[in-house]
Amino acid sequence: MDTSGTNRRVRKLMTALRNGELVPRPEFQRRLVWTNRHKEKFLETVLMEYPFPEIYIASSNVDPDTGEGIEMLVDGQQRITTLFQYFSGSKDLQLKKLPSYAELAKEEKVKFLDYEVVVRDLGTKSIGEIREVFERINSTQYALNAMEIRNARYDGELKKCVEELSQNSFFIENSVFRITDIRRMRDVSFSLSLIISILGGYSNREDRFDEFLSKYNDEFPQSEEILANLDAVFDIINKCKFDPKHRVWGKTDLFTLIVELYKAKFRDSIKIKIAKLEDSLKGFYKIVGDSEDEEDVNKKSYIYYKATVQASNDRLNRVRRGEILSEIIANC
Give 87-106 pLDDT, tens digit per residue.
Answer: 999 988 989 999 999 999 99
Where do the structural domains in the chain lie, given as residue ranges? Answer: 4-137, 146-330
3-class state of residue 56 by DSSP: strand
Distance CA 111, CA 125 (A): 33
Segment 275-303 shows an average pLDDT of 78
Q: DSSP of 217-252, one letter per residue?
A: SS--TTHHHHHHHHHHHHHHHHHT---TTSGGGSHH
What pLDDT does 177 receive? 93
Contact call for residues 80 and 17 (beta carbons, < 8 A): yes
Q: Give me the chain's average pLDDT, please.
A: 86
Distance CA 52, CA 50 (A): 7
What pLDDT does 64 receive? 62
Q: What are phi and psi of 120, to 5 degrees?
A: -100, 115
Half-sphere exposure of 3 (CA within 13 A, CB side): 15
User: Which comes out higher in pLDDT, residue 258 or 31?
Assistant: 258
Give the lowest-confidence range in 62-66, 168-172, 290-294: 290-294
Residues whose CB falls within 8 Å of the CB of residue 250, separated by 6 or more in sequence, listed in order: 308
What pLDDT does 28 receive? 53
Residue among 278, 287, 276, 273 at smallest CA distance from 241: 278
| R_g of the chain, CA atoms, integer Å | 26
Give 291-312 pLDDT, tens digit per residue.
Answer: 555 554 458 888 898 889 888 8
What pLDDT does 13 receive? 94
Specify which of 20-24, 143-147, 153-157, 213-217 reaches the highest per-range mean pLDDT. 213-217
Give 9-52 pLDDT, tens digit per residue.
Answer: 999 999 999 998 888 765 555 555 677 888 999 999 999 999 98
Segment 207-236 shows an average pLDDT of 94
DSSP state of 119: E
Distance CA 248, CA 242 (A): 8
In the structure, what pLDDT confidence band is assigned to residue 85 with cuts at 50, 70 and 90? very high
What pLDDT does 327 receive? 94
Half-sphere exposure of 152 (CA within 13 A, CB side): 12
Specify which of 28-37, 272-281, 310-319 reaches the highest per-range mean pLDDT. 272-281
What pLDDT does 141 receive? 46
